[in-house]
Amino acid sequence: MKIQHLVKYFLAAAQKDTRIKPLHISLFMAICWGGTSEKGTDDLTIFRKNIMPLARIASCATYHKYLKELVAFGYVCYRASNDYYSGSKISFPKKSVNYS
C-alpha cells in the first residue's frame, strides 16, 4: 500500500479513535516520512535516531511508549532490531485495523 494511502486512512481512523494523541500522529507521520522501503516489500526500515527528531520527540522513553501504543492499538507492526546498523522493521496490518 502506498504511503499516502496509509496516511489518509490513519488520519481518518485517528479522528474517530479517542486513544490517539498528537504524539501518536506525529510518530506515525515520522515513520511514514523517515522510513525507507525495500523493493518488493511493504516493510519500512526505521532508525530511532532519525525518527525521533522528525516526530519532535526528545526522550527515548516517550518514543518507545508511543510506538508500543501504536502497536497495541493495531496501527503498526514493529520488529525491533538488535543490530544498530540494520534498523527496525515497521509494517502496516491490513486486516487487524479498520481504517474506514
What is the structure's pLDDT at 99?
A: 47
With respect to residue 75, please indicate whether it lies within any of the assigned structural domains: yes
pTM: 0.86
Q: Tabulate helix, strand, coil % of the chain (nearest 5).
A: 50, 10, 40
pLDDT over 90 (residue 83): no
Q: pLDDT higher for 9 or 70?
A: 70
Q: pLDDT higher for 37 or 99?
A: 37
With respect to residue 97, please indicate whether it lies within any of the assigned structural domains: no
Structurally, the chain folds into a number of domains equal to 1
What is the structure's pLDDT at 25?
A: 96
With respect to residue 98, please indicate whether it lies within any of the assigned structural domains: no
Tell me the residue range of the domain where 12 lies: 3-91
With respect to residue 100, please indicate whether it lies within any of the assigned structural domains: no
Query: What dihedral do alpha carbons 26, 28, 29, 31 form, nearest 10°?
Result: 120
* pLDDT band of 39, cuts 50, 70, 90: low
With respect to residue 63, please indicate whether it lies within any of the assigned structural domains: yes
- Give the CATH number of the domain where residue 25 resides: 1.10.10
